[in-house]
Amino acid sequence: MANVKPRTLAGFMELLPAPQQQLERIMTTLRETYSLYGFTPLDTPIIEDAKILLAKGGGETEKQIYRFEKGDSDLALRFDLTVPLAKYVAMNYGQLTFPFRRYQIGKVYRGERPQRGRFREFYQADIDVIGDGKLDILNEAEIPSIIYQTFSRLGLKRFCIRVNNRKILNGFYELLGLSDKSQDVMRTVDKLDKIGAEAVREILVKEFDVAPEQADEVLRFIAIQGSNAEVLAALEGYKGRSETFDKGLEELGTVTRYLADFGVPEENFAVDLTIARGLDYYTGTVYETVMLDHPEVGSVCSGGRYDNLAEYYTNKSLPGVGISIGLTRLFFVLNDQKMLNESVPTAPAEVLVVPMSAAQQGYAISVATQLRAQGIRAQLYTEQKKFKAKIQYAAKLGIPYAMFLGESEEQEKVVSLKDLNKGEQVTVTLEEAAAQVRSYLDAVREIPSIVE
Amino acid sequence: MANVKPRTLAGFMELLPAPQQQLERIMTTLRETYSLYGFTPLDTPIIEDAKILLAKGGGETEKQIYRFEKGDSDLALRFDLTVPLAKYVAMNYGQLTFPFRRYQIGKVYRGERPQRGRFREFYQADIDVIGDGKLDILNEAEIPSIIYQTFSRLGLKRFCIRVNNRKILNGFYELLGLSDKSQDVMRTVDKLDKIGAEAVREILVKEFDVAPEQADEVLRFIAIQGSNAEVLAALEGYKGRSETFDKGLEELGTVTRYLADFGVPEENFAVDLTIARGLDYYTGTVYETVMLDHPEVGSVCSGGRYDNLAEYYTNKSLPGVGISIGLTRLFFVLNDQKMLNESVPTAPAEVLVVPMSAAQQGYAISVATQLRAQGIRAQLYTEQKKFKAKIQYAAKLGIPYAMFLGESEEQEKVVSLKDLNKGEQVTVTLEEAAAQVRSYLDAVREIPSIVE
């Protein structure tokens, strides 16, 4: 007897079949796009030794972590895919070939306070390129192309990949003599959009003891805007005063220069000096991606260049560059904004094969088997229901075709195929019916997951 | 500084890139095959409320479960995909369309004592068809077809789907008047392969107080062998003495009758009266699948018909039929038995695009971008290494083609394509090169994952 009320925990996304199909389609696009760039799939455990997972220690993350004991073991659920990658690369260093390019799409866990649009279990979709000792700048230049392809293939058009270089920021603060305050200054500058330039200036001067003329310099610097060429030209004016800055400018120039060869349109890319990415971790190019019509969502794909992937596990130098998409949150936002394309097929099959009576079951089975052999998803429907209920079953699930098989169809070795969207029915050979379904499949194959 | 030695927990499978590609290929085959039969993908949380997950309670499972608290919540990691399905169907009953057909491939967790070939985190790949109140027997008849297609598409030939019906067993014990001892008798009979008929007879008589002539009847019954037609004919002899038996025999007849229409060869299917599947849960057809050359592995795909999927969560009657593949263990066994096909491509790309100097980087990027647009996985290689090191990089990863782009290639708008397996190199247009790579892709697409 039922004694427990079934429920799913708050903060855990569990989808009905139709939206699940939409999510699967998005994941397939991510896998395919990442693969086109030579990334190999990895799959690491969800549970790790807590001491290894938390080797870096401290911070907000540690409070949110799911950590527990089983027997003598101190265990934790992964909270991102980067730490497990660092462990994997350090552990398998001798067996990997560098540069090592991997993608991983997997669930991670953070015990945040549940609130709308925040999840405790969520998918991340990451790519990283790891070098052994060094890694060519071209890898950083390729990332915007991957981001562009990924979102374009999903159907998104109104987005911008914002790029900066940590060496430019660090070099700029160095040439102002503000290196030791650069963290505070960057955090303050990050609030520019919210509080405005005047308030930023005041905090810099009053709270962090930045000289007023230096504060003005900072504000002038982050106010540099325009086309990529204009921003780069403006940055030229700071050259020759900091090696770090000059190196950063050179790198940013390289990343920008190859955009056209990589097929990234200018309108989807912007050099943006306000992008810093909080983490100390990043040391070169940094990326954020925003949906132009939904700036409130924040970055949907971020990352950057780092110098030491696995410093807690190995003394080997493992520089890399990577990006991450918070897939569960992105899916939530797309759904919320009605941006999931309703034309995407979400049915479990293309054809519902319906024998008109028990006598045609053998024929129906044989027909379904032949359809499947041709790659057509065919579901047999043999429940004892009224004809109308069978049609309603297909309609509810969005199955586009029903195939009716009665006595005459079996005798004449034909099938009656009904297009449930158009309401048209034809009696044709199985080959002709399969051809019609295949045209449908060709037509829907490229339907984008996202509409704007 | 490195201060933590990286390791992966015992009992957790974490693969190097090449075997991971092999596993991915197998998972893709499972997803595709399940989809052909009209199953829709589901994805449920790995963490559930412990009270819900353990509603059934008791047993070995509960000891093995990963259970822990976070804040006030009593949480547990799922130990199979059936209980979460039951929760899902009960919870979403009003929004689902029945029969509801879903597949799920996901990780489950059991804190077993780690030993060779046993995993604490492992993939299960399940399908289930759930009816609302009732479910046609044809759904049970279709399952062997799905098992057959799945393993055939993977490349396995020497396997047998063994099928029985719990109603036949229950009915048989009923007609012998042994219903109340049937659990003990079945458990003893299960040992037949290991201890032999004489020992089974002795246990039945001495331990369970079965009359000697009844024990002989039991042994005669489970000794029934032969072709499916012969076994069914032998069972006819017991008809008319138990309604349950007769119903079971009728169901088994239906399941067997449609095999040919479903395209399942006789040699991959056997009615086997010794199959019982321990769980009380099953009430009709039961399935096991064995690799004929590796009987020691046991069943690689099992399941059956049940009457109440979600009795702990709802009073609705939800009968169903399902099967499960223990994918991680299967993969371990295939690898162990050297049955993973080494011809399966495991490289991260088809083409390594190599600019001969920095001057050709723009051309190389443009060439790689065009290859990707045609669905060819192309990796740019721009690290500053000697030519030989670049070739070795491709060879180590098993990348089949290298594309060299020097000054003359760029000027003449051609590419030098080297087939690294054959050692042949041609200088051709990009279109011709892409066509050659596509022929390779066509040739390897159907390579089976498994060889015998």
**pLDDT per residue of chain A (452 residues) written in tens, 0 to 9:** 678 999 999 999 999 999 999 999 999 999 999 999 999 999 999 999 999 999 987 677 788 999 999 988 999 999 999 999 999 999 999 999 999 999 999 999 999 887 888 999 999 999 999 999 999 999 999 999 999 999 999 999 999 999 999 999 999 999 999 999 888 888 898 888 889 999 999 999 999 999 999 999 999 999 999 999 999 999 999 999 999 999 999 999 999 999 999 999 999 999 999 888 776 789 999 999 999 999 999 999 999 999 999 999 999 999 999 999 999 999 999 999 999 999 999 999 999 999 999 999 999 999 999 999 999 999 999 999 999 999 999 999 999 999 999 999 999 999 999 999 999 999 999 999 999 999 999 999 999 999 99
Shortest alpha-carbon distance between residue A305 and chain B (Å):
16
What is the model's pLDDT at position B183? 84
CB atoms within 10 A of CB B116: 6
What is the model's pLDDT at position B202? 95
Structure tokens, B131: 């009816």
Shortest alpha-carbon distance between residue B35 and chain A (Å):
6
Question: What proportions of chain B, in percent to the nearest 5, are helix, strand and coil?
Answer: 45, 20, 35
Are A312 and B2 within 8 A, CB to CB? yes
Q: Which fold has domain B351-445?
A: Rossmann fold (3.40.50)
Are A40 and B348 within 8 A, CB to CB? yes
| Cα A372 from Cα A351, distance rounded (Å) | 10
CB A401, CB A352: distance < 8 Å: yes
Structure tokens, B177: 């008047």
| Chain A residue with Cα closest to B367 | A261
pLDDT digits (tens, 9 = 90+) for A389-427: 999 999 999 999 999 999 999 999 999 999 999 999 999
Chain B residue numbers touching A51 (CB-CB < 8 A): 4
What is the model's pLDDT at position B397? 98
Of A9, A12, A313, nearest to B6 by CB-CB distance is: A313
Are B131 and A383 within 8 A, CB to CB? yes
Are A9 and B311 within 8 A, CB to CB? no
Of B2, B101, B311, nearest to A314 by CB-CB distance is: B2
Chain B residue numbers touching A21 (CB-CB < 8 A): 40-41
| Chain B residue with Cα closest to A398 | B97
User: A171 by DSSP, 3-state: which?
Assistant: helix
| Chain A residue with Cα closest to B153 | A373
Shortest alpha-carbon distance between residue A53 and chain B (Å):
9
The percentage of residues in chain A with a pLDDT greater than 70, rounded to a whole number, is: 99
Shortest alpha-carbon distance between residue A181 and chain B (Å):
25
Are B42 and A102 within 8 A, CB to CB? no
Sign of the torsion angle spanned by Cα atoms B176, B178, B183, B189: negative
Residuewise pLDDT in 10s, chain B (452 residues): 678 999 999 999 999 999 999 999 999 999 999 999 999 999 999 999 999 999 987 677 788 999 999 988 999 999 999 999 999 999 999 999 999 999 999 999 999 887 888 999 999 999 999 999 999 999 999 999 999 999 999 999 999 999 999 999 999 999 999 999 888 888 898 888 889 999 999 999 999 999 999 999 999 999 999 999 999 999 999 999 999 999 999 999 999 999 999 999 999 999 999 888 776 789 999 999 999 999 999 999 999 999 999 999 999 999 999 999 999 999 999 999 999 999 999 999 999 999 999 999 999 999 999 999 999 999 999 999 999 999 999 999 999 999 999 999 999 999 999 999 999 999 999 999 999 999 999 999 999 999 99
Chain A residue numbers touching B23 (CB-CB < 8 A): 43
What is the model's pLDDT at position B182? 86
Shortest alpha-carbon distance between residue A238 and chain B (Å):
27
Shortest alpha-carbon distance between residue B268 and chain A (Å):
17
Q: What's B17-336's CATH class?
A: alpha beta
Of B37, B145, B369, nearest to A263 by CB-CB distance is: B369
Structure tokens, B279: 């769980």
CB A176, CB A217: distance < 8 Å: yes
Structure tokens, A177: 């003599």
Pairing assessment for the beta strands B378-380 and A351-355 based on DSSP bridges: unpaired
- Number of Cβ pairs closer than 8 Å across A and B? 263
CB A325, CB A106: distance < 8 Å: no
Shortest alpha-carbon distance between residue A286 and chain B (Å):
20
| Domain positions in chain B | 17-336, 351-445
Q: DSSP characters for B126-190?
A: EEEEE-SS---THHHHHHHHHHHHHHHHHT--SEEEEEEEHHHHHHHHHHTT-GGGHHHHHHHHT
Are B66 and A47 within 8 A, CB to CB? yes
| Cα B228 from Cα B270, distance rounded (Å) | 6
CB B47, CB B77: distance < 8 Å: yes
| Cα B82 from Cα B204, distance rounded (Å) | 33
| Chain B residue with Cα closest to A22 | B41
What is the model's pLDDT at position A409? 98
Chain B residue numbers touching A109 (CB-CB < 8 A): 47
Cα distances from B391 to residues A326, B386, B394, in angstroms, run: 36, 9, 5
| Chain B residue with Cα closest to A108 | B46
| Chain B residue with Cα closest to A130 | B383
Strands (E), A268-358: 269-271, 282-291, 302-306, 320-326, 351-355
| Chain B residue with Cα closest to A98 | B393
pLDDT digits (tens, 9 = 90+) for A39-88: 999 999 999 999 999 998 767 778 899 999 998 899 999 999 999 999 99
Shortest alpha-carbon distance between residue B362 and chain A (Å):
6
What is the model's pLDDT at position B235? 97
Are B6 and A52 within 8 A, CB to CB? yes
Q: Which strands form B424-428's sheet, in the order they lie side by side?
A: B378-380, B351-355, B401-405, B415-419, B424-428
3-state per-residue secondary structure call for B108-132: EECCCCCCCCCCCEEEEEEEEEECC
Pairing assessment for the beta strands B159-165 and B100-109 based on DSSP bridges: unpaired
Chain A residue numbers touching B143 (CB-CB < 8 A): none
Chain B residue numbers touching A138 (CB-CB < 8 A): 361, 365, 380, 382
| Chain A residue with Cα closest to B13 | A45
Q: Using CB atoms within 10 A of its CB, is residue A92 exposed (0-12), middle (13-18) or buried (19+)?
A: middle
Cα distances from B192 to residues A77, B185, B203, B388, in angstroms, run: 43, 11, 11, 62
Chain A residue numbers touching B52 (CB-CB < 8 A): 4, 6-7
pLDDT digits (tens, 9 = 90+) for A261-287: 999 999 999 999 988 877 678 999 999
Chain B residue numbers touching A68 (CB-CB < 8 A): 66, 68-69
Are A17 and B102 within 8 A, CB to CB? yes
Its ipTM equals 0.96
Chain B residue numbers touching A39 (CB-CB < 8 A): 348
